[in-house]
Amino acid sequence: ELRARCDCILVGIGTAIADDPELTVRIAGMEQRSPVRIVLDRQFELPLTSKLVRTAREVPVIVAAIPPSALPDISPSRGEIGKRLAARSNFDSTSHSSTFKVGQGSAPSISPLEGEMPGRAEGGNRESKRQLLTEAGVQILEAPTLENLLRILAESGMSELLVEGGAFAAKSFLEAELVDRIMLFESPVVIGEGGIETPLNRADITGDYALVSETAYGRDRCFDYERPI
C-alpha cells in the first residue's frame, strides 16, 4: 500500500542484486499503481536477467548513476556489509528495517555527469552495459548529486520518492539530509551473523523529526517520524 501511494521507489544496486526484487504493487486491483522503479547503480551492474530489467517495458525502470564522491563511504555490497558485521562480537537483540520518504530539497541547476567508471557486470565495459540496459527498456539518468536526482524527478512530475531498501541507499539519503519521513520497523527477532545492519535506530533519530504514530503488526512495531517541510 505504501508503494502504491508513492510516485517512485528506490533501492541500491546491492539490494537489487542480492534480492532480485520486483518493487511493484501486487495487491489485487492495484497493480497499475506500481511506482517508477529506480536503482542507484553508478557502474551499470544491474543484471539483464533481473526481474527489474525483464519487466522494464511494463513498469518503468531508471538506473541512476551518481558519482562516488556524492555518496557516503559505505560499501553497496551485501557481502561486504555482512563481513563487517561478522567481525563484531555483539549483535542487536532486535532487528530494524527502515523505509524513507524523501523530498526534493534544494539543488543547483542540473549538470549531468559524463565520466568514465569501470563496469564489471555482464556485457563488458560500462558503456557497453549501459547500451544493453537501454536496449532492454531501462532509462539511464546520470546526475552529479542526489539533490540533482531529486530535482530531475520533481521536474518529471514525481513528488514522492520511497527509499525502500539497502543500508547504502538509506545512509546516502540520510547523510544528504534529504529524508522527510522515516518509517522504522522493529522486530523482536534476533538477527546475527550475516544480517544487514540498520543505518539507524530510534536512538539515532534527531530532534528534527517528530514521532507522529506508532503501529503494531503482530509482534512488530512501526514508528513513523516526520520532519516539518
Summarised one tens digit per residue, pLDDT across range 164-188 is 878 889 889 999 999 999 999 999 9
**Better-predicted residue by pLDDT, 136 or 110:** 136
- Per-residue buried b or exposed e for 142-155, using 16+ beta carbons within 10 Å of the residue's own CB: bbbbbbbbbbbbbe
Q: What is the mean pLDDT of residues 117-126?
A: 55
CA distances from 210 to 102, 116, 117, 195, 226 (A): 15, 42, 40, 29, 5
Q: Which domains does the chain have, with CATH numbers?
A: 2-88+101-179 (3.40.430.10)
Q: What is the mean pLDDT of residues 190-195?
A: 80
The upper half-sphere exposure of residue 211, i.e. CA atoms within 13 Å in the direction of its Cβ, equals 10
Q: What is the pLDDT of residue 16?
A: 95
Bridge partners for 102 per DSSP: 161, 179
Q: How far apart are CA 53 and CA 48, in angstroms?
A: 6
**Better-predicted residue by pLDDT, 99 or 36:** 36
22: confidence class by pLDDT, cuts 50, 70, 90: very high
Q: What is the pLDDT of residue 83?
A: 40
138: confidence class by pLDDT, cuts 50, 70, 90: very high
Q: What is the pLDDT of residue 12?
A: 94
Summarised one tens digit per residue, pLDDT across range 46-105 is 999 999 999 999 999 999 999 877 776 544 334 433 343 333 222 233 334 555 566 543
Q: What is the pLDDT of residue 192?
A: 80
Contact 221, 175 (CB under 8 A): no
Q: What is the mean pLDDT of residues 137-151?
A: 95
Look at the chain and count its residues.
229
Q: What is the pLDDT of residue 167?
A: 84
Query: Longest Cα pair distance anywhere in the chain, in angstroms?
Result: 49
pTM of the model: 0.78
Q: What is the pLDDT of residue 114?
A: 35
Q: What is the pLDDT of residue 75?
A: 42
For residue 106, pLDDT over 60 is answered with no
Summarised one tens digit per residue, pLDDT across range 194-224 is 777 788 889 999 889 999 999 999 999 999 9
Q: What is the mean pLDDT of residues 35-55?
A: 96
